Chains A and B, each alone.
Chain A
C-alpha cells in the first residue's frame, strides 16, 4: 500500500514537468507530423490529407538534396575546423603567462556577440567595394580586382564557414580549457620523467583525457551547425544560386515565403529526425563515456 502511495506522490511531482513538456515539445512535434501529411497551401486555400506524398516529392526534389548537402558540408567543415582550432587555442591558453586572463577573455568575445551582429560585421568585411578584406588584399597586391566573397557560388559557403568558425571556436575553447584544467598535473610530471616528448604527452595523455569532452563538444556543435539559420540568412539569404541554402533556410522559405505548410513541415520533420538522431547518439555516447569516466577515476 505504502509503495502505491509513493508511486502516486512521485507521479504527482512529475506531472507539472510532464505537462509543460507535452505542451511545448510533444504537441508541436505531433502537429508538425500531422501538417507534413497534408497538402496545405494558404494562398490557394488548399488543405487536404495526402499521406506521405510530401515526402515522396521531397526525395525527388534536387533543391532538397542540395540543401541537405549544403547543411552537411557547412556543419562538417565548420565543426572540424572549430574543434581543431579550438583545441590548439585551448592548449596554448592552458599555460599560464603574463596577461593570460585578458587573452582568455578576449578569445571569448566573438561568442558573446549576437549572431546577427556577427553576420553583419562579416557581411561588411566581405563587401567587394568597401570591405576591409578586399582593401587589405589589394593593398598587399595579392589581388587586383575585388573579390565577391559572398556573391561567388564557390566562395560564399566558405566565407560563411569562416564567420561561423570565428564566432563559435571560443565555445570549443572554453569547454576544452575547463577540461584541460581537470587533467591531473602528476600525469604530465610522470610522463616528463618517463621520457615522453611533447608529442607523446599530447597523444598519450592530453588527448585521451579530453576524449569525453571532445565527443560532447563535437556533437553539441554538430547539432547547432545542422540547424544554422541566422548567420547564413543574414549574410547570403541562401544564395548565390542556393549554394548556401541550408535545410533551415529552405524550410523557412517554403514555409513562410511560399506558405506551403504541408511540404515545408515535411522538410521540418526531416531536419527534426536528423538532429534528433545526433542528439540520441550524444545521449548514448554520453552515458557510455560517463560510465567509463566513473570507472577510471583514480
Chain B
C-alpha cells in the first residue's frame, strides 16, 4: 500500500505537451480522484502511472522506489478500464483468473481465489458465462474482480463507470467505495464526473490542460474552490457566477449594477484594496438562495420552475442575470411572479475577474 509520489514529470505527444513539470503526492491507502474535462491530461497521467506510456522527464515513486523504468506487470498495480477490456473469448472465471494464470499459480490457489473474489462481487452465478452474455454492470464487476484478484498495492481506475446507465453507476459506485473501505489500498481514480469524484474520494485534484487547479477533500473543493475553473467544475448545477465591481468604502461591497451586496468582514480582508475598486466575479451556489414574498432589497422575477421531487430548480431573473436556485418544493412559484431574494452573504465566493483566482 504505497504512497505515490509524482515528481516533476513531463509528457509530450508529438508537438502537444500534455503534462509539464507536474507534481502530485497521493497518500498511502487513499482514494484519490483526478477530475477534469476530456483532454485535461488525467488519462495520460494514469497511463504513466500504469506504465502503459513512457515519461519524457521526471520520476514517479511508489513509497521511495522509483518505478518509471518498470514495465506495467512489475509495478504491482491493477487497472480497471472504461471499456472493461474483458477477454471476450474467455469465461468470467477465466477472465478473473487470468492474472494468476499468467503468473503460473497453482490450480487450487487460482480456484479458491477466484471464488473468494466472485463472492465479494456477487459473481458466483456468472462464472461459466462469457462477457457477451452478461450485463454492463456485471461486466464492470468482472473487471473489478480481475483487478482485485492479485491483491495489488494500488488500483488505477480509468472512468470505470462511464459506460453504465445512471442507476447502475450509483450502485457500482458504492460498491467501489465499499471495496476501498475494506481493502484500504491506494486507489487512483480518473473521471470527468464531479459527482462521482465528490462521492468517492478522500481527496481529489481538479486538472485543466495538464495543470492542477486545486487539490483537497471534496468538502474543501466544494466550499472553497480556489479559482473559477474549479468553481465552474465542482457542483451541479454550476455555481451562479455574476460579474461585478468590488468597492471598499471602507466596508466591502460588490456592485452588480442592479444591486449592492455588502460583504461580511470575515469574507474578504480589506488591507490591499482600500479605497480602490476591482473587477470581480461573484459566485452563488444554487442552494444558498432563498425566496420570500415579503419586501427585501433584492427583487427577482421567476422565469421557470422545475420540481424534481425532493426540491425544485428555479430560474430567477435578477437584473441582467438569471440565477439558478434550489428551493424547497413547498415554495410555490409561478412564472413572472416577483419575489424577494435572500442570500446568505457568508456563503458567497469571490474571484478576481482577470486571473480567476479566489479572493474570499
Contacts and interface: CB of A to CB of B under 8 A. Distances in A.
Contacts of B85: 184, 186-187, 189-190
B98 A192 contact: no
A21 B130 CA distance: 41
B331 to A, nearest CB: 48
B84 to A, nearest CB: 7
B139 interface: yes
Interface residues of B, number: 29
A211 B132 CA distance: 17
B138 to A, nearest CB: 12
B73 A195 contact: yes
Interface in A171-201: 184, 186-187, 189-197, 200
Interface stretch (B56-64, B74-82, B183-191, B202-210): B74-82
Contacts of B98: 191, 194, 196, 204
B130 A193 contact: no
Interface of A (DSSP majority class) = helix
A194 B89 contact: no
Nearest to B152: A193
Interface string B268-297: 000000000000000000000000000000
A53 to B, nearest CB: 52
B79 A189 contact: yes
A205 to B, nearest CB: 7
Interface string B36-65: 000000000000001110000000000000
- Give the interface centre of A194, A197, A204 by most chain B CB atoms within 10 Å: A194
A296 interface: yes
B137 to A, nearest CB: 13
A209 interface: yes
Contacts of B78: 193-194
A194 B81 contact: no
Contacts of A208: 87, 89
A205 B133 contact: no
Contacts of B83: 184, 186, 298
B100 to A, nearest CB: 9
B102 A197 contact: yes
A195 B89 contact: no
A208 B72 CA distance: 23
A15 to B, nearest CB: 40
Contacts of A196: 73, 98, 102
B99 interface: yes
B89 A209 contact: yes
A296 B131 contact: yes
Contacts of B146: 190, 194
- Give the interface centre of A184, A193, A204, A296 by most chain B CB atoms within 10 Å: A193
Contacts of B73: 192-196
A295 interface: yes
A200 B79 CA distance: 18
B87 A193 contact: no
A297 interface: yes
Contacts of A296: 88-89, 130-132
A200 B102 CA distance: 7
Interface in A132-184: 184
Interface in A270-291: none
Contact of A295 (B90, B103, B133, B150): B133
Contact of B103 (A189, A192, A195, A298): A195
A256 to B, nearest CB: 49
B86 interface: yes
B71 interface: yes
B102 A186 contact: no
B42 to A, nearest CB: 16
A196 to B, nearest CB: 5
A60 B131 CA distance: 54
Contacts of A187: 85, 87
A119 to B, nearest CB: 41
Given A186-B81, A298-B88, A298-B131, A193 B102 contact: no
B132 A192 contact: no
Nearest to A183: B88
Nearest to B130: A296
Contacts of B51: 192-193
A192 B131 contact: no
Contacts of B86: 298
Interface in B116-162: 130-133, 139, 146, 150
A128 B52 CA distance: 54
Given A186-B83, A296-B130, A192 B102 contact: no
B146 to A, nearest CB: 7
A186 to B, nearest CB: 4
Nearest to A203: B102
Contacts of A298: 83-84, 86, 88, 131-132, 139
A187 B98 CA distance: 12
Contacts of B150: 194-195
A242 B314 CA distance: 92
Contacts of B87: 187, 190, 204-205, 208
Interface in A203-230: 204-205, 208-209, 211
A295 B130 contact: yes
Nearest to A211: B89
B302 to A, nearest CB: 48
A291 B89 CA distance: 13
A195 B52 CA distance: 12
Nearest to A197: B102
Given A193-B73, A295-B132, 4 more contacts: A189-B79, A193-B52, A195-B73, A298-B83
> Top 9 closest A-B pairs, CB basis?
A195-B73, A186-B85, A190-B85, A194-B99, A296-B88, A208-B89, A296-B132, A192-B72, A196-B102
5 contacts: A190-B87, A192-B51, A193-B77, A195-B73, A298-B88
